[in-house]
Amino acid sequence: MAPVTNGRIIFNSIPEGFPVPGETTVYDTSDTIDIDTVTLDGGYLIKTLELSIDPYMRGRMRAPSKKSYSDPYFVGKPLNGFGVGAVIRSEHPEVQVGDHLSGYLDHQQYIIKKDLKGLQKINNSYNLPWSTFIGVLGMPGKTSYMAWKEFSHAKKGETVFVSTGAGPVGSLVIQLAKRDGLKVIGSAGSDEKVKFMKEIGADVAFNYKTTKTTEVLEKEGPIDIYWDNVGGETLDAALNAANIYGRFIECGMISGYNNGHSTGIKNLFQVVAKSLTVSGFIIFRLEAKYGDEFYKTLPPLVASGEIKYTEDVYNGLDKVGDAILAVQKGTNKAKAIVHVADD
């Protein structure tokens, strides 16, 4: 077969504010690949199927000298992130054609790999869509499940507030909290997202753009647990509305990702005044403790529909830049997936 285009998304420049499609990232089609004849050198060839677009990716768009929990992207190199791919050729003894792998993939249509580093074979015994393995059954799902188990110390009858409650992480937190018998307050940035939060069981769901978070929490709180995906003013509101001995699970602070976290947190003294515990975490550190439990518990619940999820699918690798910006602005409708190719 003749060579085909091997499209990829290049990290082109470090953004100051929001990442700009075509400037921060560019879709590059200059490379070609002959998938039948390309040399594998004992490795294997992946066709990229689905890519996950996540809030944390903004943090990787930084000068490499700045240290953080995630590796930086390098200007001139492809982006990478969680994805699912299908093996279409292999010379590797542990990898067979037809295997599906999830994990870190370059944002590229076809990828040659030498080993399984950063990837794992998907055991899809419930025949779930491949995209679930980068969503509710992937990093976002693990984030929710494992950190909830580790840090929430949830007790029946308590109240939890979940920000970005319609996102892939928040929506699973809402459902886990309801299964634990908590009162759940969820916030998100559109009426469509509010509707979804109600569908998955949130007792109170509101659009923070049209309803004041402080007022909702004053009426519906105090809150025993705050699942923080946004930081900023929402975190300040949660600190004020916290119950004594409250637990704050610091998953992310997207409100600051595109403005250098310039909004200072004013109410942090509540940590002292109310004996709060505020926990940041890195999900891979919890994998050893909760990995088996996660893979045993979640897939059947997703397959049966007891745990719900929703996706906002962008068709085509060239849409990565748009999806990244939407996630940073919160204009995506749900968990953002870039569908690169059919299986």
Contacts 24+ apart (CB under 8 A), 268-272: 268/239, 270/239, 270/240, 270/242, 271/239
Residue closer to a second copy, measured from CB, 12 or 270: 270
Q: Would you give the binding string for a second copy spanning residues 178-217, x where CB under 8 A is met? A: ----------------------------------------
Which of positions 222-241 make contact with a second copy (CB under 8 A)?
A: 231, 235
Phi, psi of 217 (to 5 degrees): -70, -35
47 sits near a second copy (criterion: CB under 8 A): no
253 sits near a second copy (criterion: CB under 8 A): yes
Give, for 290, the enclosing helix (H) or strand (E).
helix 284-303
- Matching residue, tokens 């990787």: 60
63 sits near a second copy (criterion: CB under 8 A): no
In this structure, what token pair is assigned to residue 178?
A: 């309801």
CB of 75 to a second copy, least distance (A): 21
Q: Judged by CB under 8 A, which of 72, 129, 201, 256 binds a second copy?
A: 256
CB of 252 to a second copy, least distance (A): 6
313 sits near a second copy (criterion: CB under 8 A): no
Regarding beta strands 223-228 and 110-113, do their DSSP bridges make them parallel or antiparallel, or are they unpaired?
unpaired
149 sits near a second copy (criterion: CB under 8 A): no
Q: Judged by CB under 8 A, which of 32, 68, 259, 315 binds a second copy?
A: 68
Size of the site for a second copy (CB under 8 A): 34
Q: Would you give the binding string for a second copy spanning residues 261-290, x where CB under 8 A is met? A: xxxxxxxxxxxxxxxxxxxxxx--x-----
User: Maximum Cα–Cα distance for the chain, whole Å?
Assistant: 69
Closest CA to 161 of 111, 205, 223, 219: 223
Type of residue at 75: V
Closest CA to 312 of 294, 291, 330, 287: 330
In this structure, what token pair is assigned to residue 20?
A: 């700009």
Residue closer to a second copy, measured from CB, 129 or 280: 280
72 sits near a second copy (criterion: CB under 8 A): no
162 sits near a second copy (criterion: CB under 8 A): no
CB of 166 to a second copy, least distance (A): 20
Among 1-9, 77-85, 185-193, 252-260, the segment contacting a second copy (CB under 8 A)? 252-260
Check if the beta carbon of residue 276 is closer than 8 Å to that of residue 270. Answer: yes
CB of 277 to a second copy, least distance (A): 5
Closest CA to 264 of 229, 233, 238: 233
Residue closer to a second copy, measured from CB, 235 or 338: 235
Q: How far apart are CA 24 and CA 143, in angstroms?
A: 27
Q: Which residues contact 127 (CB under 8 A, 6 or more apart)?
A: 303
Residues near a second copy, by CB under 8 A:
59, 68-69, 231, 235, 244, 250-253, 256, 261-282, 285
